[in-house]
Amino acid sequence: MKKALVSIILVASLAATPVPMRAAESGTTAAIEHLNQEFASAWNAHDAAKMGSVWAESGDLINPFGQKASGRAAIVKFFDAEQAGVMKGTTYKIESLSVRQIDSRTAIGDWESVITGMKDPGGKPLPPFPHHVSAVYVEKGGHWLMESVRAYGFQTPPAAPMK
């Protein structure tokens, strides 16, 4: 009886979600996954213009080191300098991505990434840099673009006090 009730509730909740919306969410997720892969491929080619092309004209970015850029042109300039410096020769890999559609033209994504191949100023290899990214995506002219991106590295929490 309990299983039947749970099944009925599940079917009713799925039925309450319009099929076109569920299909749109699936298409949105695929489009955003593709957009993120375009970004990673552009990073790995060290092509700042292509990296910036996935941003909306009004987009903004805060990288894991707290550096900011606003507007697509400034983001391209930022990536150009970054790719000529500490990120020169690095590889970017998106390890996981989740997307939540807010409405037909807005979505939020979270992904886990790792940058490998960074070197310190003396040329010594640095360890891989895992980080988290949260992004707001907007649909404009039939294409999904990044509007606002925040990347950050998680800190190890402080040890609990001894009791």
Q: Taking the CB of residue 37, how many other CB atoms lie within 10 A of it? A: 13
pTM: 0.81
Of 54, 130, 44, 52, nearest to 87 by C-alpha is: 44
Can you give the residue ranges of every domain in the chain?
A: 21-152
Sequential pLDDT tens for the chain (163 residues): 545 433 433 333 434 444 333 434 678 999 999 999 999 999 999 999 999 999 999 999 999 999 999 999 999 999 999 999 989 999 999 999 999 999 999 999 999 999 999 998 899 999 999 999 999 999 999 999 999 999 999 888 888 777 7
What phi-psi label fits residue 66: left (phi over 0), alpha (psi between -120 and 50 degrees) or beta? left
CATH number of 21-152: 3.10.450.50
Residue 85 is encoded by which pair of tokens?
Answer: 């410096």
